[in-house]
Amino acid sequence: MFKKFSSDEVSAQNQVKASVQRRIQQSIAVRDPNIMKKLQVDRGAIKFVLAGANIVCPGLTSPGGALDEEVEAETPVAIIALAIGFTKMSAKDIKKQSTKE
């Protein structure tokens, strides 16, 4: 009468709606603003990031951007006024990448 599911057929991960995800991120940032390191992108990057683009090195190192020297790769960070996420590169690597371009 009832089907038994194997562990391969069951997933514990659910996609969260974007609006719910933004609300969670905002509540974390408001409740404890010093829990994460803060990065800032320049004004020119904002419209592209809000349209779904990734934040790239020049957006953090150009005038208007702010990058903490102590950020390591895979560190949770708050991108001021934009997002909460993880760094893929350390601050040193980001600066090296920006000087190549």
So what's the pLDDT on residue 69? Answer: 76
Type and span of the H or E element at 29: helix 18-31
Residues in CB range of 71: below 8 A, 6 or more apart = 37, 39, 77, 87, 90, 91
pLDDT tens column, 64-78: 888 877 888 888 887
Q: Provide the residue ranges of all domains of the chain, joining segments of one domain with +.
A: 35-100
| pLDDT exceeds cutoff 80 at 15 | no
Which residue type occupies 100?
K
CATH class for the domain made up of 35-100: mainly beta
Cα(93)–Cα(101) distance, integer angstroms: 13
pLDDT tens column, 39-52: 888 888 878 877 88
Helix (H, G, I), strand (E, B) or coil at 59: helix
